[in-house]
Amino acid sequence: MPSAGAPVLAAQDIARALKRMAHEILERNKGAERLVLMGIRTRGIPLAERLAGGIAEIEGTGPGGVPCGSLDVTLYRDDYARTGPLPLGATRFPGPVDGKVVVLVDDVLYTGRTIRAAMDAVMDYGRPRAIQLAVLVDRGHRELPIRADYVGKNLPTSDDQEVKVHLRERDGSDEVLVRRREAAA
Amino acid sequence: MDHLLSIQDLTAADITTILDTAAGLKDIALRPIKKVPTLRGRTVCNLFLEDSTRTRISFEIAAKRLSADVINFSAKGSSVSKGESLKDTALTLQAMGVDAIVIRHAASGAPQQLTRWVDAKVLNAGDGWHQHPTQALLDLFTIRERLGHVEGLRAAIVGDVFHSRVARSVCQGLLTMGAEVTIVGPPTLLPPRVDTWGAAVSADLDAVLDKTDVLYLLRVQRERMGQQFFPSSREYARIWGVDRDRLARLPEGAIVMHPGPMNRGVEISADAADAANSVITEQVTNGIAVRMSCLYLLLGGEQATA
């Protein structure tokens, strides 16, 4: 297994994966008209913005041509009774979602519980025509019947490992690392 | 946080957490479905043993928007009117397995007492002349939202400070968050040891108006009239009431607050209550978000699951 020093995905790998995913989203949905991209807090937000930018570039709609928002799923999580209250972030929808194709965007797909919460959150805002899921890394270990429609990289991992996604907007650089989970965690 | 009993139990960091959380919860009111599933399966009891509409309804809406089940228990029409003691009422609620009790009581210290009898989280919704912490928190939220910060602001709390749990709570909250506070009112309506509050004291409203960023008016409690605290409501309005003229003497950007219910024409004139810098209806709206925040922060974690 790679150590913390060796990224599994480097900056140009991430850029290529996002570009491919932008094309796949367009191909599958036959254009960008009905798309709304929703980044799941926290690292899904810059990823959604980059995907929206990529789609806009391919379609020539200009920057901001693809609606993009942010989703905080804390209030919809299923572990409030165990973890206690967590800090809340902002949820911002770029407009109504009725009849739209909402693409949820997150950095790592793991148990699927976050995505379950995100789907409930979107449904409380309206009735989208479809909800799709785009993730940079699918690391396996699903606990719910959920799968991603667009995957940057499938990364088989064991449960005692953690996948760290660094993005330049938040962490200063783009890379994906796999490392052993710290004993305390 | 174990309970929410007094604003004095809270540090500036605690208050900031509550206000930040409330900010994240406020936009739920703007959604098509004004509800999140967070407190599903929790039971909140509103135990209101003293009259209240807005605080009780505000707490009820707050709990329901978080999907908690709400039981309303008031003195009228309950076993309390048959003479049941607070302790027996508390033990009954305990036996029924409620997770939180929101209590309003005429006796100062009743919420504190309640914590000794029940495992539920206790939220003080006003006890006697003592405390009303969620009122202070919603006021701080409103100030922060309107003016961007609380620290360094100059606030004046005007009116019947003596009988007011709101005045005590708001004053302490403002001081904790680093504001300067001046207490203004008729000497007969100032509490005896007001000089120990950490606030300045003045009997002259006109002298403090131009140095006030937050003008906080208290309700004149009509039931105190004729008890020789002040001669008449007209005289009160003339000396301590706020009208358009006094409003105009506030600095640019200052806001006017009132915990409600207002006596228009006494502590505040009708046109002042409806002026652009009056944030009185915002206080009511923000009260729901702040109470949601308190419930959310208190009811999480393992100890709440019975």
CATH number of B171's domain: 3.40.50.1370
- Strands of chain B (E only): list them: 43-48, 69-74, 100-105, 121-127, 154-158, 180-184, 200-202, 214-217, 255-257
* Number of domains within chain B: 2
pLDDT of residue B227: 67
User: What was the pLDDT predicted at A63?
Assistant: 76
Examine the domain organization and report whether B105 and B164 are in the same domain.
no
Please state, in angstroms and rounded to a whole number, the distance separating the CA atoms of residues B27 and A183: 39
- B235 and B295 part of one domain: no
Is there a contact between B35 and A124 if contact means CB atoms under 8 Å apart? yes
Domain identity same for B230 and B150:
yes
Residue B110 belongs to domain spanning: 7-132+284-304
Query: What tokens appear for A31 in the block?
Result: 């254009």
Q: Which pLDDT belongs to residue B302?
A: 60
User: Which of A70, A71, A75, A78 to probe by mutation at the B interface, max B CB count within 10 Å?
Assistant: A75
Task: Give A181's pLDDT tier (boundaries 50, 70, 90).
Answer: confident
Q: Are B185 and B158 in contact (CB under 8 A)?
A: yes
Look at residue B306 in the predicted model and tell me its pLDDT. 39
Mean pLDDT for A93-99 is: 94
- Whether residue B216 is found in the same domain as residue B156: yes
Overall CATH class of domain A6-81+88-180:
alpha beta
Give residue B123's pLDDT. 98
Domain assignment present for B2: no
Q: What percent of chain B has pLDDT over 70?
A: 97
| pLDDT, position A5 | 61
Q: Is the pLDDT of residue A185 over 50?
A: no
How many CB pairs below 8 Å do chains A and B form together?
54
DSSP for B193-211, please give it: TGGGSSSEEES-HHHHGGG
In a shared domain, residues B264 and B142:
yes
What is the domain partition of chain A in residue ranges? 6-81+88-180
Q: Same domain for B146 and B272?
A: yes
Query: B residues 5-24 near A, CB within 8 Å?
Result: 17, 20-21, 23-24
For chain A, give the mean pLDDT.
93
B61 touches chain A (CB under 8 A): no
Cα–Cα distance for residue pair B128/B233, rounded to 1 Å: 24
User: Which pLDDT score, from 0 to 100, does residue B80 have?
Assistant: 75
For residue A82, give the chain B residue with the closest CA: B301
| C-alpha distance from residue B29 to each of A22, A83, A152, B26, B298 (Å) | 34, 25, 36, 6, 21
* Residue stretches of chain B with pLDDT short of 50: 303-306
Query: Is residue B46, in this structure, part of any structural domain at all?
Result: yes
> What local confidence, expressed as pLDDT, does residue B226 receive?
61
Per-residue confidence (pLDDT) for residue B156, from 0 to 100 = 98
**pLDDT of res. B127:** 96
Are B141 and B276 in the same domain? yes
Same domain, B214 and B241: yes
CB contacts, 8 Å: B63 with chain A: none
- Tell whether B98 is covered by a domain: yes
Co-location of B47 and B145 in the same domain: no
Is-catalytic flag, B38? Answer: no
**What whole-number distance in Å separates Cα of residue A15 and Cα of residue A9?**
10
